[in-house]
Amino acid sequence: QVQLQESGPGLVKPSQTLSLTCTVSGGSISSGSYYWSWIRQPAGKGLEWIGRIYTSGSTNYNPSLKSRVTISVDTSKNQFSLKLSSVTAADTAVYYCARLNSLFGYYFDYWGQGTLVTVSS
């Protein structure tokens, strides 16, 4: 059973860079047909896709965040990471990592439990 776990600081100061890591267990991050994604959800609001990465390092980002987002992968550690620069209070949200299954279509079939990141001085 694949499991994902987010980790990183829960509090980030405005204008700084938010950094999170997702550790994948129960399967190799290098398995074919899977991408690895970050999704966020402000309190009481809907879900926003941030971006995805393939194990080759190929990435796609949400155009609304593209200028501030970097997603990277470390296959040796079975981890992938998110960096979001120049954060503001609007970036306060629960951040989820998820596996994007591309076997038949494109759907998020495994999710981490989520981690709350608050942007505040």
Partner 1 sequence: DIQMTQSPSSLSASVGDRVTITCQASQDISNYLNWYQQKPGKAPKLLIYDASNLETGVPSRFSGSGSGTDFTFTISSLQPEDIATYYCQQYDNLPPGFTFGPGTKVDIK
Residues of the shown chain interacting with partner 1 in the complex, contacts defined by CB under 8 A:
37, 46-49, 52, 60, 62-63, 96, 98, 100-101, 104-109, 111-114
Least CB distance to partner 1 at residue 88 (A): 22
Other CB atoms within 10 Å distance of the CB of residue 68: 16
| Cβ 61 vs Cβ 89: under 8 Å | no
Beta carbon nearer to partner 1, 17 or 118: 118
CA atoms within 13 A on the CB side of 118: 4
Beta carbon nearer to partner 1, 17 or 93: 93
Beta carbon nearer to partner 1, 10 or 46: 46
d(CA 100, CA 85): 24
